[in-house]
Structure 1
Amino acid sequence: MSDAVKREWIRFTPAERFARFTIFLGCAIALAWSFRTVEIIPEFLMDAPTQMADLFRRMWPINYGYYPEGVHAVLIETLNIATLGTLLTLLMAVPVGIMAARNVCRVPLLNLVATFILVSTRTVNSLVWALLFVAIFGPGTLAGTITIAVRSIGFVGKLFGEALEEASQGPVEALRAAGAPWLSVFLKGYWPQVSPAFWGISLFRWDINVRESSVIGLVGAGGIGMALDESLNLFHWDRVALILLCIFAVVIAAEILVTQIRKRII
């Protein structure tokens, strides 16, 4: 009687081990190349904790008295930029989202144009858009509002278009079979299905825009970012601490507000 074949359990096959080694080696090379590219200075890296501690000491105590004269107005301006920019986005993004949805708009050329708009507007960073519109309209809230509006088109339009494409076709086909015009098909067939998603997307984007409108002021596009940039340039660290605290408070309040509204709408 022949002896039983001895089997040995191996966790990975030779091909799998080679693939894992190749991936790890590629990651190591990429990491080493990245460190070389960013030119990290060891002396500055080792001194960073000390500098950070010194910075926090300069920020304390926080200059709360600066709020009425230097922060309140620009903070309200920031919220206005975010809100008005979001409203303008909805006016522009909804038609683009409809054109991007292939089951709603059956014209390939319009689908292509809409896709190009959605991709181009969300590919460019907010600060780049802000620099462009500051050069066109000059520093201030107009440039900030247009920046927020244009930057948000890709986000809102893409998600709205995807919601339209995922809508059930049963009610739509019934309306078309009854001879309903296109607008009635959209309002009665598509809109009831996508309206919760639309309002959720709109609220989520407004929440994001509150954050972004706080940053674009660093390049002159209005809002609290301009006050932050001024305080940084003048080394008024106690004011910087107050502005950062206000931004943090507004972002948290916006998050809570959006969450509560979403619970009641969706």
Structure 2
Amino acid sequence: MTGTLSTDTTSGPAWQYRTPRQSLLQWLGWFLLVVLTVFCWQLMNENTIWAFVSDAPDQAMDIGSRMFPPAWGYIGQLWEPLWDTINIATLGTLIGVAIAVPVAFLAASNTTPSTRFVRPLALLLIVTSRSINSLIWALLLVAIIGPGLLAGVIAIGLRSIGFVAKLLYEAIEEIDFNQVEAVRATGASGAQVIDYAIVPQILPAFWGISVFRWDINIRESTILGLVGAGGLGIQLSASLATLAWNQVAMIFVVILVTVVISEWVSARVRQAVI
């Protein structure tokens, strides 16, 4: 912590929390934050129709009243889309993890074969995967390979690569290197060093990351059908198009129960492996 002593002939030296330069920079930062806030507020108001905003509570109450009671009889038509959603999440996670593992080893500074060429490429792949939302991936894939579950599975897989690889390569960089040196001193090959010194250290993190990503993918898979990538989103889109709000409420209930169950499974698996 830095500070200064100001001299005063009447009361003696007085300690100050910040130097004058630091205080000036702090006030400048606050000023810029206020300017940015005002600019963003004006930008938001530019295309906002406040008559609609003021009417929003009434509209929300009207739609909410149409949602209850949920169409319980509609659940029979949701089992197959729900199964498709779970398959999209599971298969997409498996694809993403399978690609993310080698990418993570290439991106980690202590396992990459080249910090000048290979590591930047691996990091670029991770950033590209993480910067594009799964819904956008699905939209692109539906346009390329057509609507259906395949587009959803690949979209979830592409989105999962960056998430899993980033967390995994950070876990690889944090390993105890003494174990690596000990195995290497026995004359082990590079593959054996990875197998006996690195993998055992990152295995708990690997399972935790994979299960956590599967849990996230369950939620993301429920909306991919809105762009034609299969799953519950297709039923949700159809119900919204026909203003069948009680069916929408039933779909929300199914999604909520599915997410709660996936959360429970994810928590139990993480407890078992970590």
TM-score, with length taken from structure 1: 0.92
What CA deviation, in whole Å up to 9, does each residue of 1:7-56 have, x standing for no partner?
Answer: 78988776566445433332332222223223222211211111111110
Could you tell me which residue of structure 2 aligns to residue 100 of structure 1?
107
What CA deviation, in whole Å up to 9, does each residue of 1:87-119 have, x standing for no partner?
Answer: 111111101011111211232322121111111
1:206 maps onto 2:211 in alignment? no
Could you tell me which residue of structure 2 aligns to residue 170 of structure 1?
178
Deviation at 1:236, TM superposition (A): 0.6
1:260 maps onto 2:268 in alignment? yes
Deviation at 1:251, TM superposition (A): 0.8
Could you tell me which residue of structure 2 aligns to residue 144 of structure 1?
152
In structure 2, which of residues 188, 191, 194 is the aligned counterpart of residue 186 of structure 1?
194
Could you tell me which residue of structure 2 aligns to residue 34 of structure 1?
40
1:22 maps onto 2:43 in alignment? no
1:80 maps onto 2:116 in alignment? no
* Partner Cα distance (2:52, 2:18) in 1: 43
Could you tell me which residue of structure 1 aligns to residue 245 of structure 2?
237
* Partner Cα distance (1:156, 1:185) in 2: 22
What residue ranges of structure 2 are gaps of 5+ in the alignment? 1-8
Q: 1:46 to 1:18 in 2, by over 3 A?
A: farther
What CA deviation, in whole Å up to 9, does each residue of 1:220-248 have, x standing for no partner?
Answer: 11111111111111111000011111111
* Partner Cα distance (1:33, 1:42) in 2: 18
Could you tell me which residue of structure 1 aligns to residue 3 of structure 2?
none
Query: RMSD across aligned C-alpha pairs, in angstroms?
Result: 2.0
TM-score, with length taken from structure 2: 0.90
Per mean C-alpha deviation after superposition, the further-off stretch among 103-112 and 132-141 is 103-112
Q: 1:255 to 1:72 in 2, by over 3 A?
A: same
Deviation at 1:169, TM superposition (A): 1.1
How many residue pairs get aligned? The number is: 263
Percent identity of the aligned residues?
A: 42
Q: 1:188 to 1:16 in 2, by over 3 A?
A: closer
What residue ranges of structure 1 are gaps of 5+ in the alignment? none
